[in-house]
Amino acid sequence: MDGGNFGTLNQDVSLGGAFHGFDYFSEFSRFDTQGSYPNNFFHNATVSANLGWDIAPTTGIRATVRHTTTDLGAPNGIDFYGISDDSTSRNENTYVGVTAQQQTNVRWHNSIQFAFASIYFCLRQSVTYGRALRSIRIRAQLPGECSHHSRSERLQHHRPGHPRFWRSLSRIVS
């Protein structure tokens, strides 16, 4: 944990280990700052985990998860207008992946994978106009723009040299 001026604080904690056929690693981090202007803040919190299990010497399962939340204040052109906007944005992303693998023999490797992504973004804009009089602001609230997208894909059971493997992989990447 460390900190600085403008209310800056950075925190990070992690835990990892292995027990018999299980291995794990998890981390949480958070960063906050207030900035030097009104509504000039930034907040980021991330949690991630990586869990594995070796069922047999040639067979294993692995799962990964990552969730990030970001909040941001957008003060706009303070030098131009002399007053800060109340616009903010929020972003939340979640990613999940699960893989099961088996090495059948020296030349044959089986793998099945599942991937999921959820992306959320919200922008709240308000327009400040007029002059600041004794810390009183006149505002007009604009409608916020929020969007949420999620997608999951599954790679079928194909070996990497098979043409359908690359078509399945390209659907996830695109």
Q: Which residues of 31-50 are buried (b: 16+ CB within 10 A; e: fewer)?
A: ebbbeeeebbbebbbbebbb
Token pair for 5? 């001026």
Run of H or E residues at 82: none
**What pLDDT band is residue 130 in, cutting at 50, 70 and 90?**
very low
pLDDT of residue 26: 96
Q: Among 31-40, 48-57, 75-84, 152-161, name the one with the lowest average pLDDT.
A: 152-161
Q: Which residue has the higher pLDDT, 126 or 52?
A: 52
Q: Cα(68)–Cα(91) distance, rounded to whole angstroms?
A: 8
At 64, the pLDDT band (50, 70, 90 cuts) reads very high
pLDDT band, residue 123 (cuts 50/70/90): confident
In angstroms, the Cα distances linking 120 to 73, 154, 158, 169 are 17, 22, 32, 24
Predicted model pTM: 0.69
